Structure 1
Amino acid sequence: MSTPIQDVIRVAVVEDQPLFRSMLERTLGQTEGLQVVVSVGTVSDARRALRPGAAHVALLDIDLPDGNGIALGVTLRRQQPELGILLLSAHDAMDLLLDLPSDVAEGWGYLSKNSSTSEELLVSAVRSAAVRETVLDPELLARITPRAGSDVAQLTHRQYEVLRLLASGLSNAGIGERLGITEKSVQNHVNALYATLGIDADPSRNPRVSAALRLLEETGPGI
């Protein structure tokens, strides 16, 4: 279940490259409504600094000198179930989200350092992580195609477009603006793709998160 966005979202940055870490600090620290409260470069430092309640969102590099951000995120999430997790990686390893343990799998985001990730997207992904929503790197999503025989392959072209934009963190209004259609039309497409993918309105699960994970599960690299 999503939690309300805080008035000020406290962010922990765990990134071992000093230059990139300082860029993240500056970008997030200068954004209204965000505050960088932890900035470290190792797993051990992160474990010491990220006590319960210290941050609302942990921005974690996957490759750290004394471990990896995914294992760190799993540990932190089990200790702090409301903590949002946003992964960064120099490798296009978005499908690693499918291997997360089921008890902590909901609401992880993923951005690639190699894509043209903008400051706007970074900030949006942090805000989404604060309410346990999943945001996936839009440039990586643009490169994937549905696997033959999968439920995702049964979607219409428009439904598939909507699903990819949904998975990249856009709201229905944002999707409508991107595609030049009304918000009501977007909602109709969302309802139809949920039906095709068998995603129900279980109140214990966020259907947009479930849809994003199904997109990852049933697609592969484009030809």
Structure 2
Amino acid sequence: MTDPRTGPLRVAVVEDQPLFRSMLERMLDETPGLHVVAAVGTVTDATRVLRPGVAHVAVLDIDLPDGNGIALGVTLRRAQPDLGILLLSAHDAMDLLLDLPRDVAAGWGYLSKTSSTSEEVLVAAVRAAAVGETVLDPALLARMTPRAGSAVARLTDRQYDVLRLLASGLSNAGIGSRLGITEKSVQNHVNAMYATLGIDTDPSRNPRVSAALRLLEETGPTA
């Protein structure tokens, strides 16, 4: 199988609504550097087709007629530990990422079907999942605020903006472009944010994943 960092990114789609599945398949397959290798509508078909090595990333609807995408993702990830998982849902179920088993918890993404309709956001989330990063729905994040007394609440406004954009899948360069600051300034804010959140830089852990999950854990919907 090709390396997702250097070759075509192989994507599988598991979505039970035929029209939406067809739209996802066509959009992703027409994106340069991506190739859809499977598009199915049930857990049964996905389990049959998605053997280890078939895909780099699986885009999974949470609500499937014979099961759910989260349990399917856990099964697929345990068989292929480097498989990227991107969950889609018509409901705001982003906090379900916090309940994933520890052995498969890193590198899952979540997008809402109702808020993240941008092709750019979807493709960025797929690419991030392929390299083990966690991407959270940017539209949902925009409606969240830090919980009182949490470590996230101690971040400066700028650090919080950087954290939210990081969790949305933007690179440091992308964050800098969005905020109108240099990439070096972004890295300084990231380092300060990691220190406040107590996120270490152990090379065996992805600190961006840890930061995204901390943001999800310590924020709630704006009242």
Bin the TM-score by the shorter chain: over 0.9
Amino acid at match of 1:222: T
Question: SS of the counterpart of 2:199?
Answer: coil
Question: SS of the counterpart of 1:121?
Answer: helix
- Matches for 1:95-114 after TM superposition, within 5 Å: 95-114=95-114
The residue number in structure 2 matching 1:18 is: 18
Distance between the aligned counterparts of 1:204 and 1:89, measured in 2?
30
The residue number in structure 1 matching 2:132 is: 132
Q: Does the 8 Å CA contact 2:144/2:220 hold for their aligned counterparts?
A: yes
Distance between the aligned counterparts of 2:123 and 2:170, measured in 1?
13
1:117 is displaced (CA, Å) by 2.6
- Matches for 1:111-126 after TM superposition, within 5 Å: 111-126=111-126
Question: SS of the counterpart of 2:128?
Answer: helix
Amino acid at match of 1:186: V
Distance between the aligned counterparts of 1:25 and 1:79, measured in 2?
24
Question: SS of the counterpart of 2:145?
Answer: strand
Distance between the aligned counterparts of 1:53 and 1:148, measured in 2?
44
Change (3 A) 1:6 1:42: farther
1:4 is displaced (CA, Å) by 5.4
Q: Does the 8 Å CA contact 2:116/2:137 hold for their aligned counterparts?
A: no
Distance between the aligned counterparts of 1:132 and 1:61, measured in 2?
19
The residue number in structure 1 matching 2:209 is: 209
The residue number in structure 2 matching 1:81 is: 81
1:5 is displaced (CA, Å) by 1.5
The answer for unaligned runs of 5 or more in structure 2 is none
Q: Does the 8 Å CA contact 1:111/1:117 hold for their aligned counterparts?
A: no
The residue number in structure 1 matching 2:190 is: 190
1:210 is displaced (CA, Å) by 0.2
Q: Does the 8 Å CA contact 2:108/2:132 hold for their aligned counterparts?
A: yes
Amino acid at match of 2:51: R
Distance between the aligned counterparts of 1:56 and 1:6, measured in 2?
12
Q: Does the 8 Å CA contact 1:29/1:36 hold for their aligned counterparts?
A: yes
Distance between the aligned counterparts of 2:91 and 2:5, measured in 1?
30
Change (3 A) 1:211 1:15: same
1:6 is displaced (CA, Å) by 4.1
Question: SS of the counterpart of 1:51?
Answer: coil
Distance between the aligned counterparts of 2:136 and 2:24, measured in 1?
18
Distance between the aligned counterparts of 1:135 and 1:81, measured in 2?
18
- Structure 1 length as normaliser, TM-score? 0.98
Q: Deviations over 1:134-192 (max 9, x none)?
A: 11110000000000000000000000000000000000010011011111110000000
- Matches for 1:140-219 after TM superposition, within 5 Å: 140-219=140-219
Amino acid at match of 2:168: S
Amino acid at match of 2:8: V
Share of identical aligned residues, percent?
83
The residue number in structure 2 matching 1:29 is: 29
1:116 is displaced (CA, Å) by 3.8
The answer for unaligned runs of 5 or more in structure 1 is none
Change (3 A) 1:163 1:53: same
- Structure 2 length as normaliser, TM-score? 0.98
Q: Does the 8 Å CA contact 2:4/2:56 hold for their aligned counterparts?
A: no
